[in-house]
Structure formats: C-alpha cells, structure tokens
Amino acid sequence: MKKLVSLLTVSAMVISLCACGGTKTEEPAETTETAVEETAQEADASTEATEETGAAAGVMPAIAKEDIKVGVIHITDPAEGSGYTYTHDLGIQGMQKNLGLNDSQIVRKNNVSDSDATAIENAMRECVEEGCNIIFATSWGFMDTCEALAEEFPDVIFSHGTGYKSNGTNFNNYFGRIYQARYLAGIAAGLKTESNKLGYVAAMGQENSEVTGGINAFAMGAYSVNPDCEVYVKVTNSWFDPEGETQAAQALVDLGCDVIAQHCDTPNPQTVAEQNGVWGVGYNSDMSKDAPGAVLTSVMWDWSVYYTQAVQSVIDGSWTGENYFGGMADGLVDIAPLSDLCAEGTQEAVDAARKQITEEGFNVFDGVIETNDGSTVGAEGSTLSDADITGSMNWYFKNVVVK
Amino acid sequence: MDIIIKFLVAAVGAGTPLLFGTVGEILTEKTGHLNLGVEGMMSIGACIGFMVGYYTDNFFLALLFAAIAGACSALIYAVLTVTFMANQNVTGLTLTIFGIGFANFIGIFVLNKSPEGTLKLPERITAAMRGIHIPGLSDIPVIGELLFSYSPFVYIGIIIAVICAYYLNRTKEGLNLKAIGENPGAADAAGIKITKVKYINIILGGAICGIGGVYCSMIINGGVWISDNVGGLGWIAVALVIFANWQPSYAILGSFVFGALRVLKYYIPQSVFPFPIAFYDMLPFLMTALVLVISSMRKSGRINLPAALGLNYFREER
C-alpha cells in the first residue's frame, strides 16, 4: 500500500514536471512570435508613413537620434592590443562621439566566433531583442547570418564589414580601399630599404584578392620611388597565428629583408623587425606603440568615417542599403604619421602621392600593369574596376617575389 | 648554406614551447592521467609569467611564477581527477577552456589600465631572453650559431627533459611512477603511495607546461601581450607525446623535428617546391600518423603507452 502511494505521488510529480517544462518552453516561443508580428506590423506602418510623406530618399524610415540603438558584433575582444577588432571599436567609439550618442545606445557583442553559426545568430538576435536599429557585423564570417536575419527582421539594418552581398534595403556591406594607404606605406618602405628587399607577412596567398591587392599596392608604391627593390612575400595561411607570423617575419629577415610589412592580425612581425634591428610597417592601428624602434608608419583604418555616415543616414532616413567602398579621400584609410625612422624626403614623396590619390584621381591600379609572371593586366587609359580589385586580384606585381 | 643554418635556428625556436608542453605532459601521462589541459596550463603560465615580468622587470621571477601558475592549474586537475575521480578527458578540456579564458581576462584587464594601450615587456628583459652570448663559444662560425645562440629557454628545456629522462628511467621514484601508470592496483599492493605520487607528478608536469607558456608570451610574441597567445601549441604538444613514445629524451628530438616542420614553409624555396601552404601545415600531423604506424608495426619495439592511461584508480574497486 505504502509503495503504491509513493508510486502515485512520484508519477504525479513527474507528470507535473513534464507539464511545467512543456508550458515553459512554449511560452517564449509565443512571445517571440507575437513580437515578430508586431515588429512586422510596425515596419509596414512606418514604410507606409514614409511613402505618404515621400520626404526621405532612403529605403528605411528615419529614427530619432535619442531612439537609435546600435549593435556591434565583434569577432574578438576590442580591448586587446592593436589589431582588427580594436580598430573597428575605435571606429564605433568615434561614431558615438561624433553623433553624441550615450553609452546605453551602443550594444557590443564580443568574442563571437565567425565559424560558430549559432553563436553569431544568438548574438544578433540578442541585439535585435535589445532594440537595436542597426547592427554592424565586423567580420567576414558573419555575412550569411546577416543576410538571413535581414529577411526575418525587415525593420533592422544589418551592415556587414568586408563582404560583398546586399539586398538593397536593410542589408549591405562596407569595405575600403586600403590599397591606397598601402601604396603610401610602400613609398616609405621603398625609400628606407638599404638591401632593396622588402618583406611582407601575408595572412592569405595569391588566391585572396584583398591580401594580394594590398601586396601589389605596397609593391607599386615602393617601385614608384625605388625601381630596384623587391617585395618578398611569406604566407601564414591563417588570419590569426601569432607564432606563424613571428616565424614568417623572422624568415624574411633571414632572407635579407630590412623593412617588414604585414597583412595579418598581431604586431608580431613588427616586434620581430625591432628585435633584429630592421624596420617595419604596421597594419590596422598605429603599431609604433608596440615596436617603437622599428615602425616607419602603419596602414590604418578609420572606421568611424563609415560608422558615423551610416548611423547619421539612419537618423536622417536617407539610408540607401547600397554597399560602401570608401577610400582615402573619404578619410576611411590612411597611414599613421611617419616616424622619425623614415628616410629623408619620405614626407614629401608621401604627400605628393596622397595628393594624386585624393585630388587627381590616381587609383593605384591604373593603366597597364606588369605582373611577376611576365603577363600584363589592365589597359592604357583605364583603371581596374572595383569588382576586379575586390574579386579577381590573383596576380602579383612584377617586383613581388614568392620564395 | 647560410639559410640552412637560419632554418635550423628557427626550427629550434619553434620547437622549444612544444618541448616544455611535451615533457610536462609525459610526466602527467606516466601517472596514468591524460591531461588534455596542456593548452590551458600553458596559457595560465603565459599570462602569470608575463604579468610578473611586466610588473617586476625580473626574468627569473617571471619564470618562477609561470611555473607556479602552471603547477596551480595542474593542481585543479589533480584534485578533480585523482581525489574526486572526475572524468579525465572532460576535466582536461575544461581546464583548457578555463585557462585560455582566464589568461585573456587577466590580459585585457591589465591592458585596459595601461596608459600606452599596449603591454610591452621592458627591452632589458626581452633582450636577455632572446639569445645568450658566450664570449668565444658563440663566435665560432656555424657551431656558435647552431649551439650557443639560443634563448635561455632552449637550454632550460633540454636540461629539464634530460633530468626527466633520468628520473623516469634511473630513479626509484621514477620507476614507482611508471608502475602506477601501468598498473595502479599492483603498485598499490607493492606499498607505493599512489595518491601522493600522482599529485607530485601531475603538478610537476603542470609547472613545466607553465614555463612553456611563458615562452609563448615572451619570445614568440616579442614581449607584447596579445590574447590567445599560446595559439594551439598545447594541442600539438599532446600529439607530440605520442610521437615521442612517452620518452622525454625522444621529446627533445621530436619537438625540434616538429618545430622544423612548422617553419619549413617559410624557409623552403617556393620556386623549387611549389606545394600549397596547407600541405606544410599538415606535415607535422602526417609525421605523427606515420610514426604511429611504424612503431606499431615494429615487432621488437614497444609502445610506451601507460597501460592505465585515462582510467581513474579507485582502490575499493580493485
């Protein structure tokens, strides 16, 4: 009898547990559904409103500055060092300052792995739930998630960095002509080198247009002031490999290179240059703080230019959903102030080239360009298209050596 | 010729963190405990060692505290797996995740307070760590560069490996340790204090890993703090234990071979060997697979895998 009673109570408890669990899982689902419906309705209502007024040229409704909320998805932690995320976050901080937003209007999601689709989606959904109107996803691997969520949340803008897709309304990509800054850095390096060998630590090989375009621009800048110099390239085959970046830089120094430039994530190539008593060109942020004894200048992004413009356009209601590809004239890319280590006359040469790029329409990849396998690219009197620069730059300039 | 010497020097440099990780893990595995937390222990050692160096400007204190930090993290593992008999794989993996997170947390916390926006060890320390220079010996051509030009870490690592080889094969304590790894029940019956020996060796192994970690933060990253600075070397060390057949003396050779394979892609002339870079990334692990196949085919040789590896010893179940 006792057994029977206890059995009954236990089964009753189990059933009640199941029941509770069941309702618990159902509840949030319902709320999100209704939330989605509501937001969808709101979106409809607001688009109608803009259609009626017809004032704004943009495709999204204007949002008052006090109400705007900006989400940021970072691949690592912005606090760390000098690299990629750090510069993006400086851009966000700059935008916040330029527009006078307060801290609660910026939502950051840090350390979102770009290979973990669930983590990316969760981070973005959290941003949406916290009321973000525009979400900046700063790394390449976030693009497809952005595209999918842009469809699900039509009233939230997804702006993705360094990719190429766009849906013309609430999903776009932004990137910049970093090669223009690399051209200037090449001038500084070409004037400094004594061995006429420049080293370049590259994250990816020839198949990657972004990296290869950067190498070419650097090589062309160096060639423009020093036709005898060569650019030696070592590929780490990883976007983040501290040990490999050190080893690649050391190998370049061992080959006799005396200026080490880089397109990777850590300041390691520059610290290696400093330890070996040669010079370096940093990337992302001003790396003279990491290797003051070596860095001539650094190729830098100023993302605040884009972030400010994008958020301002949302406030004004002039957001167009078009892809953004800014350059030196916009202030998006530049080099850090030249250090005292630079050769004499570098400032003048750099200033002249900067003027050519920003005022005289020089676009680095102009005219016929000789590659290092003996063929040529481009045509006289024209410049390579943006699609070629971002998508099919798979050749090296003639003074680039892969050894 | 010159570039070959440079390549060998780079190979030794690349192999050194692996040597510490491998020897530390061999000591641990000889107790019958598979500690997958090498990466975590190295990260904690890298972080604490770096921070002590940063604040005290003292290389030896940095080294000492890196070893202590590695030992403390190994102690966590030992308490969980030896005393509480938690699953070794899960505990080790957790230690890795914890260690990396802990190191990055401390690193970013200190970084946020630094006025320059970067953490850089003073040149005085980094110069001393980068390479020794013995007047006379270091100046001999070729030999001087190949034998007497390395960071003090290289010599410390080799000395530790030699001591461990002697300890494991020639001392009573070492033989007791091996007995525990093979058959803890029999060792227990023979009167060996199992728990004590396990604790001592797991902690020693952690201390050695911790020194390997500080090599990553001080030498590989040039004395500038970056997050995730061990960068997966701990995992390669776990693979190297198998490559070295659980023998510290082989670990010296194995880690330098691995180091050579890791820097090969930067030194091999691409014009002569036009393989894709990914091929070189694969080489160390291809080698491990080959060594496993060859050593299991050899009839005379035997694999030194401790028979009780991965099994917790529970006296009452004997």
Instruction: Quickly list H helices, B114-232.
Output: 123-130, 143-147, 152-170, 172-182, 184-189, 194-215
> Helices B194-215 and B59-78, interaxial angle, to 10°?
140
Here the CATH number for the domain that contains residue B163 is 1.10.3470
Residue A208, token pair as written in the block: 């990657």
H or E segment to which residue B307 belongs: none
CB contact under 8 A, B263 and A247: yes
- How many domains does chain B contain in total? 1
Q: Where are the domains of chain A?
A: 70-176, 178-300+333-402
A60, A157 contact by CB (below 8 A): yes
CB A189 within 8 A of CB A281: yes
**Fold topology of A70-176:** Rossmann fold (3.40.50)
A42 has pLDDT over 70:
no
Which contiguous run of DSSP H or E holds residue A382?
none
Q: B7 is in which domain, residue-wise?
A: 2-317
Asked whether the beta carbons of residue B222 and residue A237 sit closer than 8 angstroms, the reply is no
CATH architecture of A178-300+333-402: 3-Layer(aba) Sandwich (3.40)
Looking at this predicted complex, what is its ipTM? 0.89
B117, B266, B271 ranked by CB distance to A289: nearest:
B117
Asked whether the beta carbons of residue A80 and residue B111 sit closer than 8 angstroms, the reply is yes
Contact yes or no for A254 and B6 at CB 8 A: yes
For B104-138, the pLDDT digits (tens) are: 999 988 988 888 878 888 877 877 777 888 887 77
pLDDT of residue A165: 85
Whole-prediction pTM value?
0.84
Pairing mode, if any, of strands A324-326 and A295-301?
A: unpaired
Tell me: the pLDDT tens digits for B167-198? Answer: 999 999 999 999 999 999 999 999 999 999 99
Question: What does chain B come to in residues?
Answer: 318
Contact status of A42 with chain B (Cβ, < 8 Å): no
pLDDT confidence band for A116 (50 / 70 / 90): confident
How many beta-carbon pairs under 8 angstroms link A with B? 107
Q: Which residue has the tokens 């375009």?
A: A213
Q: List, in sequence order, the alpha helices (H) in A317-364.
A: 346-359
**How high is the pLDDT of residue B186?**
94
Contacts of A273 (CB under 8 A, 6+ apart): A249, A253, A259, A260, A279, A280, A291, A294
**Can A70-176 and A178-300+333-402 be said to share one CATH topology?**
yes
Exposed (0-12), middle (13-18) or buried (19+): which is B141, by Cβ within 10 Å? exposed
Smallest CA-to-CA distance from B20 within B35, B2, B38 is with: B38
State how far the Cα of A207 lies from the Cα of A221, in Å rounded to an integer. 22
Half-sphere exposure of A261 (CA within 13 A, CB side): 34
